[in-house]
Amino acid sequence: MKTIGYAAQSAESPLAPFEFTRRELRADDVAIDILYCGVCHSDLHTTRNDWGNAVYPAVPGHEIVGRVTAVGPAVTRYQPGEVVAVGCLVDSCGHCDQCRHDLENYCREGWTGTYNGKDRVTGENTLGGYARQIVVKEHFVLRVPEGLDIAKVGPLLCAGITTYSPMRHWGVGPGSRVGVVGLGGLGHMAVKFGAALGAHVTVFSRSPGKEKDAFDLGADAVLISSDEAAMAAAANSFDFIIDTVPVKHDINPYLPLLDYHGTLVLVGQIGNLDEPHTFPLVFGRRAVAGSLIGGIAETQEMLDFCGRKGIVPEVEMIRMDQINEAYERMERSDVHYRFVIDMASLEPA
């Protein structure tokens, strides 16, 4: 089917209207009219080719909420008219040990991204959610719990699961001492989940103006990362720190803040780090780890958790034609705390 979206034609060009074709429904496919799509910092990294692997034209967007319009003959779980969601993954090999354990996000053969991925049947570059329609394999389509505001659900599909999954993996729960580095899209969801899981949550921010917001989101404390005395006083006081900073930065100031056996999980910056000091790691068995989004079953678990607890992101709704301005604001850390595109604003070409 013919559709319209917004694409970047190169790393230097802004996003602009773009017509393209979605594949015909395969037996296990769901066709979705996109209602809303969240704006992730990864969209900006891909648009600008920050990771050196971008394929153009690039249509970003992996925080998708929409309505089912048609299903292939083998689809059993969804029907036209239902509101559904799609996140960062649209396919994986399905048979490796990771896929068999619901960890499609760590598929040994490489998972297929919602955008900038390689379609497993045609080999074509996948195009994401800044568009009117999308066609996705049923296994990668998620149910949206009743009662959540569908205009706000999109960011759960990436910012939500990327922070929820490591918290669950490292056992964050009542009494856990959690630190969140960087209060942006991912960071604000980490605060909400930490609070909902019963943890004591501290936000590390470079931005003094964000303190009130941090408390409103559920944080118990805020540390301005440039305040050396406050950082020193926080030594040995965290079980788990999640670092969402999108650019190369020094993680060494955070390592002594972990208590013995604590873990700092990197989810933001992808690439080289400054060398970590090994003294706090060795003396105290502290760890530095990474984590990538989450599998489909855990993403559904996270959505259902949000449904039960009434958790949604803080969003600023934008029109599709405001996307380039939104990217500029994201680069300045001026996001409160996730942009969501109202796809009704996407004009026909």
Q: Where does this chain bind Zn ion (CB under 5 A)?
A: 40, 42, 158
* Binding range to ligand NAP, per CB under 6 A, among 176-184, 193-201, 276-284, 296-304: 176-184
Strands 287-290 and 200-205: unpaired
**Among ligand NAP, Zn ion, none, what does residue 210 contact (CB within 5–8 Å per kind)?**
ligand NAP
Of 271, 272, 274, the closest CA to residue 253 belongs to 274
**Among ligand NAP, Zn ion, none, what does residue 154 contact (CB within 5–8 Å per kind)?**
none
Cα separation of 167 and 187, whole Å? 12
**Among ligand NAP, Zn ion, none, what does residue 257 contact (CB within 5–8 Å per kind)?**
none
Helix axis angle, 159-169 to 185-196, nearest 10° = 40
Under rule CB under 6 A, which residues in 28-57 are in contact with ligand NAP?
40-42, 45
Of 331, 343, 324, the closest CA to residue 41 belongs to 331
The residue sitting closest to Zn ion, measured at its beta carbon, is: 40
Site for ligand NAP (CB under 6 A): which residue of 120, 168, 206, 336?
206
Give the nearest distance from C-beta 248 to ligand NAP in angstroms.
8
Site for ligand NAP (CB under 6 A): which residue of 265, 335, 340, 343?
335
Give the nearest distance from C-beta 198 to ligand NAP in angstroms.
23
- Is residue 299 a contact residue for ligand NAP (CB under 6 A)? no
Cβ atoms within 10 Å, residue 94: 13
* Binding range to ligand NAP, per CB under 6 A, among 8-16, 203-211, 216-224, 311-319: 203-211
Site for ligand NAP (CB under 6 A): which residue of 65, 183, 201, 222?
183
* Binding range to ligand NAP, per CB under 6 A, among 89-97, 133-141, 179-187, 304-312: 179-187
**Residue number with CB closer to Zn ion (180 or 234):** 180
Asked if 234 and 253 count as a contact pair (C-beta separation under 8 A), the reply is: no
* Binding-site ranges for ligand NAP (CB under 6 A): 40-42, 45, 158-159, 162, 182-187, 205-207, 210, 244-247, 249, 267-269, 291-293, 330, 333, 335
